[in-house]
Amino acid sequence: MRIILATNNKNKVREVGEILSPLGYEVISQSEAGVDIDVEENGVTFEENAFLKANAVHKLTNEPCIADDSGLQVDFLNGEPGVYSARYAEPGHRCQKVLDKLKGVEYDKRTARFVCCICYIGKDGQAKTFTGKCEGHIGLEKRGTNGFGYDPIFMVGDKSFAEISAEEKNKISHRADALRQFEEYLKGE
C-alpha cells in the first residue's frame, strides 16, 4: 500500500520508510506525489499541526496520507521548545540554544522527551491521531554524528540519539512509538 508522507524532509521520509516498509508499505514524500505546498503550522499542539499537514495533502491527492509533528519538550524549560522545536532558533543553533538555557542545571533536572503525533487520513477522509513519546535527558554537550535535529543533545541512558544506530533509534524513538500505534490501527482496518 502506498502512503504519502506530508513532508519533503528526506530524513523523516527515510525514517518512516525504514519503519513501515518491512510491513509492506511504500512511503513517498508529498513532492513525489506531485504536491508542492508548504502548510503553515499554526496549531498550538502537535496534534493540530499534524492534522493541518495531512489534511492539506489528502485534499489534493485523495490518497492515504500521514503527517507528523514532533518536537522536544524540556521540563526545566516548561516544555520548550515544544511545537516550536523547528523554529526555536536558526538551523544549526537549536541544540546550542537549549544547552545555553540549561547552563548550570543539574543533570537530574534536565528531563525531557521527544513527542511525535502522527495524523493519518485514509481514503474515506477520516482522521486518526497517534502520539508517541521517548523519555530522556538533555546532555551537557552535543554528542554523536548520526540523526538530525536535537538528536545530539537528547540522551537515552548513556548515549545520545546521535550516537546510536538508525536501527536502534527506530526501535525506541517517539516516531517509532507513534508508528507502532498506527501499525496496530492499520491491522484492524
Give the model's pLDDT for residue 121.
96
Share of the chain above pLDDT 70, in %: 99
Q: Is 124 a catalytic residue?
A: no
The pLDDT assigned to 8 comes to 86
Contacting residues for 178 by C-beta, under 8 A, at least 6 apart: 68, 116, 117, 118, 130, 131, 132
pTM for the structure as a whole: 0.88
Provide the mean pLDDT of the chain. Answer: 93
pLDDT at 188: 74
Query: What domains appear along the chain, each with residue ranges and CATH number?
Result: 2-188 (3.90.950.10)
Task: Considering only CA atoms, give the Rg of the chain.
Answer: 16
Catalytic residue among 36, 38, 69, 124: 69
Q: 3-class DSSP state for residue 149?
A: coil
For residue range 66-106, what is the model confidence (pLDDT) as tens digits? Answer: 999 999 999 999 999 999 998 999 988 999 999 999 999 99
Q: Tally DSSP H helices, then E strands, for the chain.
A: 5, 7
Is the previous residue joined to 81 through a cis bond, with omega within 30 degrees of 0? yes
Q: Which residues of 35-74 are buried (b: 16+ CB within 10 A; e: fewer)?
A: beeebebebeebbbbbbbbbbbbbebeebbbbbbbbbbbb
User: How many whole angstroms separate alpha carbon 171 and alpha carbon 5?
Assistant: 20
Question: What is the pairing mode between strands 26-29 and 65-74?
Answer: unpaired
What is the average pLDDT across 135-144?
Answer: 96
The pLDDT value recorded for residue 14 is 86
| DSSP character string of 63-132 | S-EEEEEEEEEEGGGTT-BGGGGGGSSSTT-HHHHHHHHTTT--GGG-EEEEEEEEEEE-TT--EEEEEE
pLDDT at 189 over 70: no
Contacts (Cβ under 8 Å, ≥6 apart) of 139: 110, 152, 153, 154, 155, 160
